[in-house]
């Protein structure tokens, strides 16, 4: 049923591809234009090492998701996008995340995040018996937000939890300061800040508590089928195509032009690139009001991250079917200082079930200290940049050793990236990991609508209302809903 109109999608990140799947299924002629030669944006993978034993594929960022079980919110959405049968592997039921604090000479203290809302509060109550009721109250609010995922779809179906601060909620609900720290433990899955909306904290926190899974094969396992579905429905995913301008006529988007000068005409344009990057591509004919342009370009972004993708020596470390978040006890998790290395997220990959073959380590990193190299390509940033990466890795290793003594000796190779790498590859301003920073005190300005003032130009992706696989999957529905009608999509997704 081709012939409803044509759609250009800028960027093959998860959001761009999901929109491509839905619109091509509905009979639109879809063309996805990706500037890189690998699709997937933050979900792309890369290969390092010599052919044979030493050759390893790493994920750039993706590690695990929540609520992907049958009938669970993300599971329902992924099925709708044609991703119903992926090789998800459930993490440890009683400890899918370990929250570890390093307290100088006192050593390390770890707390488990257990799966299932009740199991979660029961297991933590064993460490904080006096806080049992507070924990139950805390969990019931989080669960309530997650239960209403489909009735609270972003800016349109506006959710009051957006204008409530997660930090204030935590302080009002939980009186024990150490328990508050523990409940702030998976801080690297989002950027904790005093004005982080409770909605974002609850969705991300709660979706993993409901159930937590890693994916065999990583991000590629999500991205490749989406490209195949688009192509099988008559669409195209074209790589190595950098869009430099969104062409408009009389305030309406009519196509795009690439860096090589080629133009593509279309009835609709959707951008999966960061909103401020998108707005820079709109010329005079877009008749974009200055106030909107200024609003979008002045949005602040979440911090960027330093990542270390590590190949481990064979059979050197037992595989842990959980993620480990390591924090210095005195770190202020709600005001992270990316110029220090006070928090790490550690993710393991299994070799044969018993041992870990690879490991990823992630920590916030300050962009300002790197910005002098921002106009150079990654391989030409020179010795001082390489030294800065080495120094950051040394800080990570020192913190890592507190939880895993001797781990340095188990490492075969380390490949590192910085926010500059993310800026070069994805184009997100300042190499931000999770896009636009949301603010509970300024929701209308920081939660972004898929619809722009330029007719037939729409936004999608992690900066709209929520990041991660969950958030982007929700944004894609909001974006396609602008063209197909949100109610139509809601019925298709929920089979009602």
Residues, the chain: 496
Which residues, other chains included, contact 99 with Cβ-Cβ below 8 Å and sequence gap of 6+?
110, 111, 112, 113, 182, 185, 186, 325, 327
Give the residues across from 9 on adjacent strands.
32, 270
Q: Which of 91, 183, 266, 305: binder of ligand FAD (CB under 6 A)?
A: 305
Q: Which of 24, 25, 26, 64: binder of ligand FAD (CB under 6 A)?
A: 64
Map residues 337-376 to x or -, x wherever contact with ligand FAD holds by CB under 6 A: -------------------------x--------------
Q: Interaction with ligand FAD in 306-325: which residues (CB under 6 A)?
A: 307
Q: Which of 461, 474, 479, 480: binder of ligand FAD (CB under 6 A)?
A: 461
Q: Which of 433, 454, 457, 459: binder of ligand FAD (CB under 6 A)?
A: 433
Instruction: Classify residue 318 by burial, with Cβ atoms within 10 Å: 0-12, 13-18, 19+.
Output: exposed
Q: Which of 190, 243, 333, 399: binder of ligand FAD (CB under 6 A)?
A: 243
> Which segment (39-47, 146-154, 163-171, 191-199) binds ligand FAD by CB under 6 A?
39-47
187 belongs to the binding site for ligand FAD (CB under 6 A): no
Rounded CA separation 84/78 (Å): 6
12 belongs to the binding site for ligand FAD (CB under 6 A): yes
Rounded CA separation 32/346 (Å): 33
Q: Which of 43, 254, 296, 423: binder of ligand FAD (CB under 6 A)?
A: 43
> Which segment (159-167, 379-387, 437-445, 464-472) binds ligand FAD by CB under 6 A?
464-472
The distance of closest approach from Cβ of residue 149 to ligand FAD in the complex, given in angstroms and rounded to an integer, is 14
Which residues, other chains included, contact 404 with Cβ-Cβ below 8 Å and sequence gap of 6+?
317
Of the two residues 173 and 432, which places its CB atom closer to ligand FAD in the complex?
Answer: 432
Q: Which of 126, 172, 228, 242: binder of ligand FAD (CB under 6 A)?
A: 242
Pairing of strands 343-350, 356-365: antiparallel
Of the two residues 59 and 342, which places its CB atom closer to ligand FAD in the complex?
Answer: 59
Rounded CA separation 104/356 (Å): 28
Of the two residues 6 and 18, which places its CB atom closer to ligand FAD in the complex?
Answer: 18
430 belongs to the binding site for ligand FAD (CB under 6 A): no
DSSP string over 200-253:
HHHHHHHHHHH-EEEETTTTHHHHHHHHHHHHHTT-EEEES--EEEEEEETTEE
- Walk across the sheet containing 212-215 and list its strands: 64-66, 212-215, 88-90
Q: Which of 170, 273, 310, 480: binder of ligand FAD (CB under 6 A)?
A: 273
Rounded CA separation 87/215 (Å): 6
The H or E element containing residue 491 is helix 486-494
Give the residues across from 346 on adjacent strands.
324, 361
Q: Which of 7, 21, 33, 135: binder of ligand FAD (CB under 6 A)?
A: 33
Q: Which residues bind ligand FAD (CB under 6 A)?
A: 10-16, 33-36, 41-43, 61-65, 242-243, 272-273, 277, 305, 307, 362, 426-428, 433, 461-462, 467-469, 472
């Amino acid at each position: 049923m081709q012939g409803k109109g044509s759609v250009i999608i800028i960027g093959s990140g998860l959001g761009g591809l999901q929109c491509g799947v839905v619109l091509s299924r509905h009979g639109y002629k879809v063309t996805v234009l990706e500037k890189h030669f690998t699709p997937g944006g933050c979900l792309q993978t890369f290969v390092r090492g010599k052919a044979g034993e030493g050759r390893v594929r790493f994920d750039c960022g993706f590690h695990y998701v929540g609520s992907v079980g049958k009938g669970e919110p993300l599971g329902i959405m992924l099925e709708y996008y044609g991703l119903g049968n992926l090789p998800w592997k459930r993490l440890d039921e009683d400890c899918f995340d370990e929250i570890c604090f390093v307290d100088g000479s006192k050593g390390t203290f770890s707390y488990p995040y257990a799966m299932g809302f009740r199991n979660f509060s029961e297991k933590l109550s064993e460490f904080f018996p006096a806080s049992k009721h507070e924990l139950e109250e805390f969990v019931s609010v989080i669960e309530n937000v997650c239960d209403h995922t489909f009735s609270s779809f972003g800016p349109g179906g506006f959710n009051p939890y957006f204008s409530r601060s997660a930090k204030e909620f935590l302080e009002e609900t939980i009186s024990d300061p150490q328990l508050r720290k523990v409940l702030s433990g998976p801080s690297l899955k989002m950027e904790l800040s005093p004005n982080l909306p409770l909605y974002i904290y609850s969705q991300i926190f709660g979706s993993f508590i409901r159930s937590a899974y890693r994916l065999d094969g990583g991000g590629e396992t999500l991205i490749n089928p989406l490209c195949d579905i688009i192509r099988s429905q008559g669409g195209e995913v074209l790589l190595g195509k950098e869009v430099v301008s969104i062409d408009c006529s009389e305030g309406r988007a009519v196509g795009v032009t690439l860096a090589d000068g080629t133009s593509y005409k279309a009835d609709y344009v959707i951008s999966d690139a960061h909103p401020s990057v998108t707005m820079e591509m709109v010329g005079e004919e877009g008749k974009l009001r200055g106030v909107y342009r200024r609003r979008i370009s002045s949005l602040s972004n979440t911090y960027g991250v330093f990542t270390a993708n590590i190949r481990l020596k064979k059979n050197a470390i037992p595989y842990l079917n959980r993620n480990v978040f390591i924090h210095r006890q005195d770190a202020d998790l709600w005001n992270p200082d990316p110029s220090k290395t006070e928090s790490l997220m550690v993710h393991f990959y299994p070799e044969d079930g018993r041992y870990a073959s690879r490991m990823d380590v992630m920590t916030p990193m300050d962009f300002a200290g790197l910005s002098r190299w921002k106009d150079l390509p990654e391989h030409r940033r020179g010795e001082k940049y390489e030294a800065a990466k080495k120094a950051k890795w040394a800080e990570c290793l020192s913190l890592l050793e507190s939880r895993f003594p001797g781990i340095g000796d188990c490492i075969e190779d380390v490949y590192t990236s910085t926010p500059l790498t993310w800026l070069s590859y994805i184009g997100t301003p300042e190499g931000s990991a999770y896009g636009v920073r949301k603010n509970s005190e300024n929701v209308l300005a920081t939660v972004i609508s898929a619809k722009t003032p330029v007719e037939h130009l729409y936004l999608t992706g992690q900066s709209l209302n929520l990041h991660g696989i969950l958030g982007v999957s929700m944004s894609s529905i909001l974006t396609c809903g602008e063209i197909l009608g949100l109610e139509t999509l809601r019925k298709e997704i929920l089979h009602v």
